[in-house]
Copies of this chain bind each other. A is one copy, B any other.
Amino acid sequence: MRIALDAMGTDRAPMPEVTGAIQSLSHLDSDIEVVLIGDEEIVRTELERHGQCPDRLHVHHAPEQVTAADPAASVIRKKPSSSMVVGLRMQQAGEVDAFVSAGSTGAIMATSLFTLRRLPGIDRPAVGTPLPSLKDPFLLIDSGANVDCKPEHLVQFAHLGSIYAQHTMGRPQPKVSLLNVGEEPGKGGELVADTYDLLLDEPGLCFVGNVEGGGLLRGECDVVVCDGFVGNVLLKFYEGVAASILSPLGKERDDDEETGGLSDVLRILDHADTGGAPLLGVGGVSIICHGKSPPRAIRNAIAVAARAVSSDMVGHSARNISGSGAWLEEMK
């Protein structure tokens, strides 16, 4: 298995990427290789700081870099030699099995959609972000890809999230909840009320009902479904709370410090441990990381990508949603 890592994505690239990649190799199966994509000179200079380059770590040259100023939809045309486009094109060509990037979320989504394409039966790929809770992490989907949704889109998110939770997060029968303003059926506006009714009758899902904002951190479900507007506001608010609290407390862990340093209570504010956020519903593995990711978060995202590949997440999604994996076989 080969995992492409955009070496130029984080705010402090390529330090967190290179460090995270090196760390990840000692945690991953020995048949997994990581390909750092970026300006070779810059990446090799950073690698030298770490001494010898591990055998299973490769560098693939890509001279351009996507910035926040690049309009997301035009990156594929205007920056064809960027680490992001090169990495995703390599997956499209079958040269790597997964792609991980901490670059602009919008650009990763748009470029992934263009290169990996939508799975049949999926109208809107969605971002699933794993968030810590008082119990196990849960997947918030959609956390930002689609701001205007219809009930059938939310049902697709439920399937995508459930398959991901089962195969990649290791939940045998994922409990799926709908984010709402009350727990009772019939709560919420038109979108969620109609979605609730659809989810109740939907086969292949373990739908456990509505969850309120206050119930999320209790961790009683594995997948929380919402439209990308609410999900994005919530996710960024969560990150804002975390930054406001952890940063002044000196609890931001930029380095490779292990979790023992942070109390269990504050752990729920720190999602570097839960790994990257997959773009679900495309014909490949594309993992999105926060632009401020420390090496630890990159390492976790690589592990997430490896699990997604080895569990054949995309195959399961294609078979479950379109009822057949034929399309995927054809595409290969």
Contacts and interface: CB of A to CB of B under 8 A. Distances in A.
8 contacts: A148-B190, A179-B233, A214-B239, A215-B236, A216-B237, A218-B240, A245-B269, A248-B264
A181 interface: yes
A121 interface: no
A70 B299 CA distance: 51
Closest 5 CB pairs of A and B: A213-B236, A213-B237, A214-B236, A214-B240, A147-B189
A233 B212 contact: yes
Interface string A226-255: 101110111111111101110011000000
A331 interface: no
B229 A244 contact: no
Nearest to A144: B181
Contacts of A243: 214
A227 to B, nearest CB: 8
A329 B238 CA distance: 45
Contacts of A228: 181
Interface string A188-216: 11101000000000000000000011111
Contacts of A229: 181, 188-189, 192, 230
Interface in A160-206: 179-181, 188-190, 192
A227 B328 CA distance: 40
Interface residues on A, range: 35 or more
Is chain A's interface secondary structure helix, strand, loop, or mixed overall? helix
A134 interface: yes
A53 interface: no
A130 B230 CA distance: 20
B230 A245 contact: no
Given A181-B233, A213-B234, 8 more contacts: A147-B188, A181-B229, A181-B236, A188-B229, A213-B238, A214-B237, A214-B239, A217-B240
Contacts of A188: 147, 229
B268 A244 contact: yes
Nearest to A245: B265
A136 to B, nearest CB: 14
Contact of A217 (B226, B235, B244, B264): B244
A2 B154 CA distance: 49
A229 to B, nearest CB: 5
Contacts of A213: 232-240
A138 to B, nearest CB: 13
